[in-house]
A = this chain, B = another copy of it.
Amino acid sequence: MPATRTRPSPETVAAVVAELQSLFGNRAVTSQAVRQQHAHTLTWIENQPPDVVVFAESTEDCVAVMKVAAAHDVPVIPFGTGSSLEGHVNAPFGGISLDTSLMKRIIAVHAEDLDVVVEPGVTRKQLNEYLRDMGLFFPIDPGADASIGGMAATRASGTNAVRYGTMKDNVIALEVVLPNGEVIDTARRARKTSAGYDLTRLFVGSEGTLGVITRITLKLHGIPEAISAATCTFPTVKDAADATIVAIQTGIPMARIELLDEVQVGAVNAYSKLSLPEKPLLLLEFHGTEAGVAEQVERFRAIADDYGAGDFQWAAKAEDRTRLWQARHDAYWAAMALRPGWKGQSSDVCVPISRLAECIDATKKDIEASGLIAPIVGHVGDGNFHVLPLMDENDPASVAACKAFMGRIVERALAMEGTCTGEHGVGQGKMKYLAAEHGDAALALMASLKQAVDPRGLMNPGKMAG
């Protein structure tokens, strides 16, 4: 990004809007409500609206937007469903929010190849509803009904990454509109390739700072013959984490293994009208054949018993499982409901799993010492956990305590060979930690990649590595 970038002048905005409205008619929108809704809305990060929102319907539309942006030197910020949590879609330098939510076509399902080609506005729930009758599913599940384009852009993962990987592992190829308006395919549809630099992985996780993702080829999986879900409690978070480590080492192919601390369980019980025991809790899911799942369950149970597990509850019926996982996905909202009117910010650190219990323990002591309300949920099989401290925005002491706490969580994770974000991404919120995590030379390398792909700094400026 040119160091000199500022919001465009009113004259430039007027010219850009006029040009976009002549191209897109009422799909180029400038109402304040729509612009604010296309900036960041979910956490305590400030709302910084774009100057105009364009609802694209095709790759050609995206190319046209890019050309207008380049002609007037204004930013383009790709937008999916707006469910990102670190200010990814904010427009600190104004410009054009390029909304891809109308690009919802599922272009081709290749059942024999276990892949699908979709437009970026397809959401994960839409995709899975479409696939269900074919016996196929797309596993990545960040909780929110995010768009596939946004999930690719943020390298999303979620509850079943422990078994199926993250978006990094499940994107085969992308179509991308580059900042210069050219359209590329990052790879062919073959399952693997060694033909050149990995352009696919360059764009997965690039958070709209390198180009606009306009088409995604994803790996699919057959819907497992048998699925079983369960919950069980542990005396301590460390016991739950240790049981998880042994289960994974043993090779039990857990599909999901999620930790909720007792505070989060309380919040979930209240919000989702459940009556889970208010202790450190694992939510589990097993995928496989009937016999395979039965064996996995038996093996996991034997391991869990060694770590003092109790209160086993099974949910083999689809509706019970759905209720359980919906409650897990609503954990964020359940936590927010603990203090109506307050704001929360979900932290998102990830450490080597061997350090997870220690990291969570220290975090819980920190919460206690700080007098915060801060439930914890964790993708414990990956060493990834979220803490959601709540703050009263009208109380400066509450705000200061929360912000200081958030910083300490990251410092603690980095000290344990961890990362400042396991899955939410950098956006604006985590930029300040990148130098500590990667070091100056690696960060400079990232900046040089950005400079190479987007020399004029048109794509989502003020995010990621700058």
Q: Which residues of A contact B (CB under 8 A)?
A: 110-115, 154-157, 161, 165-166, 168-169, 178, 182-199, 201-202, 204-206, 221-222, 224-225, 245, 248-251, 253, 288-289, 291-292, 295, 299, 348, 350-354, 382-384, 413-414, 417-426, 430, 433-434, 437-439, 441-443, 445-446, 448-453, 464-465
The minimal Cβ–Cβ distance linking A323 to chain B, given in whole angstroms, is: 25
Q: Are B446 and A449 in contact (CB under 8 A)?
A: no
Q: Are A442 and B199 in contact (CB under 8 A)?
A: yes
CB neighbours (8 Å) of A430 from chain B are: 195
CB neighbours (8 Å) of A193 from chain B are: 155, 350, 419, 421-422
Choose from B182, B299, B438, B450 the contact partner of A441 (Cβ within 8 Å).
B182
Once bound together, how far apart are the Cα atoms of A423 and B191, in whole Å?
A: 11
Q: Are B384 and A423 in contact (CB under 8 A)?
A: no
Say whether, besides A199-B445, A441-B184, A194 and B155 are in contact (CB < 8 Å): yes
Choose from B113, B437, B453 the contact partner of A195 (Cβ within 8 Å).
B437
Choose from B111, B156, B413 the contact partner of A249 (Cβ within 8 Å).
B111
Q: Are A417 and B382 in contact (CB under 8 A)?
A: no
The minimal Cβ–Cβ distance linking A171 to chain B, given in whole angstroms, is: 11
CB neighbours (8 Å) of A423 from chain B are: 192, 194
CB neighbours (8 Å) of A251 from chain B are: 221-222, 224-225, 288
Q: Are B417 and A188 in contact (CB under 8 A)?
A: yes
A222 closest partner in B (C-beta): B251
Once bound together, how far apart are the Cα atoms of A288 and B252, in whole Å?
A: 9
Number of this chain's copies in the assembly equals 2
CB neighbours (8 Å) of A425 from chain B are: 194-195
Choose from B292, B382, B449 the contact partner of A292 (Cβ within 8 Å).
B292
Q: Are A448 and B453 in contact (CB under 8 A)?
A: yes
Q: Are A191 and B382 in contact (CB under 8 A)?
A: yes
Once bound together, how far apart are the Cα atoms of A465 and B383, in whole Å?
A: 37
Say whether, besides A353-B191, A417-B189, A442-B185, A464 and B196 are in contact (CB < 8 Å): yes
CB neighbours (8 Å) of A420 from chain B are: 195
CB neighbours (8 Å) of A178 from chain B are: 441, 445
Once bound together, how far apart are the Cα atoms of A288 and B289, in whole Å?
A: 13
Q: Are B192 and A166 in contact (CB under 8 A)?
A: yes
The minimal Cβ–Cβ distance linking A403 to chain B, given in whole angstroms, is: 19
Say whether, besides A111-B249, A292-B292, A434 and B195 are in contact (CB < 8 Å): yes
Once bound together, how far apart are the Cα atoms of A437 and B184, in whole Å?
A: 11
Q: Are A439 and B185 in contact (CB under 8 A)?
A: yes
Q: Are B449 and A154 in contact (CB under 8 A)?
A: no
Choose from B289, B350, B383, B449 the contact partner of A197 (Cβ within 8 Å).
B449
A155 closest partner in B (C-beta): B194
CB neighbours (8 Å) of A417 from chain B are: 188-190
Choose from B157, B168, B225, B448 the contact partner of A452 (Cβ within 8 Å).
B448
A111 closest partner in B (C-beta): B249
Q: Are B112 and A249 in contact (CB under 8 A)?
A: yes
Once bound together, how far apart are the Cα atoms of A383 and B183, in whole Å?
A: 27
Q: Are A161 and B192 in contact (CB under 8 A)?
A: yes
Q: Are A110 and B352 in contact (CB under 8 A)?
A: yes
Once bound together, how far apart are the Cα atoms of A414 and B185, in whole Å?
A: 14
Once bound together, how far apart are the Cα atoms of A284 and B350, in whole Å?
A: 37
Q: Are A197 and B202 in contact (CB under 8 A)?
A: yes
